[in-house]
Structure 1
Amino acid sequence: MRIGLYPGTFDPITLGHVDIIQRAMALVDRLVIGVAINRDKGPAFGLEQRVAMVQAECEGIIAKTGGEIIVHPFENLLIDCANDVGATVIVRGLRAVADFEYEFQMVGMNRAMDATIETVFLMADARRQAIASKLVKEIARLGGDVSKFVTPAVNTALIQRYAKPV
């Protein structure tokens, strides 16, 4: 069984993430979505909310592909998480050249720790390349419309998160 790990903070999950998940499902038998517990980033949504959003967005993908997706929170090293879930492939999404420079360094470090785990890069669909969770949160926080970048359920969660008290 080919098991892949797609890690991220998913704060929140965007249409760019959904695109990568859908395409990664064609490469593996089981995809583990690793939701990082990254206290340093100060997430807009708590871990439980992020896990629930990812699970909800994956239900349709599972129904469509018949594949297996598991949502797995983690706080340890990525390479240790991959070993914990039995992944032999780490899936990473790329949007731009700047992403590649960072990811290139990560691959080198991960390979030094465990050379048996491969990293596969998937380019985001051209319509989704500009989407970044950080920018989506900023737009939502300032009252902008993010419905082009997230699913309706995530859009609603963002509106509620950044609603101004009356």
Structure 2
Amino acid sequence: MTGPESEGPQVRRAVCPGSFDPITNGHLDIISRASRLYDEVYVAVMINKSKKGLFEIDERIDLIRQVTAEYGNVRVEAFHGLLVDFCKQREIPAIVKGLRAVSDFDYELQMAQMNNGLSGVETLFVPTNPTYSFLSSSLVKEVATWGGDVSHLVPPLVLEALGERLRQG
């Protein structure tokens, strides 16, 4: 047999990109939903050398791997440069992004159109669970820095790492 039938079933891949500094329950909601829709989901942890994160890239990757291990089909990798290049290298045709509010849509639509124009990669927008519609890593860090309770906003493992990091100063 020749042709597509002989190649076996096609693996459906998607990527959830972000800085994940730290990963929140809102991020996990989007990743878990993507993991039910796709055979393989890559979590692409963005490296931004001009910005100092609270957690180093390797720490973020480790935390994400631990909190997504139960899904079984999530891979976590760092990337820098264009997301579409990351997608091309791994044959990923879809980017999955969570939208919290209308304000997210304007920016994300421009990015989606640019990514599609550059490489044909599609972007799927997933509405965020209303429980997490206000949530961002920046907000979690700010509240935690001032001693606020963020235990309902991040997985327990991340809460522990966040507390340790903030105690270190």
Q: TM-score, normalised by structure 2?
A: 0.90
Please say if 1:44 is aligned against 2:41. no
Of residues 125, 130, 135, the one that matches 2:134 is 130
Q: Distance in 2 between matches of 1:104 and 1:41?
A: 24
Cα 1:164–1:7 shift into 2, 3 Å: closer
Corresponding residue for residue 90 of structure 1: 95
Q: Distance in 2 between matches of 1:22 and 1:41?
A: 28
**Contact 1:93–1:121 at 8 Å: present in 2 too?**
yes
4+ runs deviating over 6 angstroms: none
Please say if 1:110 is aligned against 2:115. yes
**Contact 1:13–1:154 at 8 Å: present in 2 too?**
yes
Query: What RMSD, in angstroms, separates the aligned Cα atoms of the two structures?
Result: 1.2
Q: Percent identity?
A: 40
Of residues 150, 153, 158, the one that matches 1:149 is 153
**Contact 1:32–1:85 at 8 Å: present in 2 too?**
no
Unaligned stretches of 5+ residues in structure 1: 63-67
Please say if 1:11 is aligned against 2:21. yes
Question: Which has the larger Rg?
Answer: 2
Q: Distance in 2 between matches of 1:61 and 1:82?
A: 21
Letter matched to residue 151 of structure 2: S
Corresponding residue for residue 79 of structure 1: 84
Aligned length: 159
Deviation at 1:164, TM superposition (A): 6.0
Q: Distance in 2 between matches of 1:156 and 1:29?
A: 31
Q: Distance in 1 between matches of 2:143 and 2:62?
A: 22
SS of alignment partner, residue 6 of structure 1? strand
Of residues 38, 42, 53, the one that matches 1:28 is 38
Unaligned stretches of 5+ residues in structure 2: 1-10
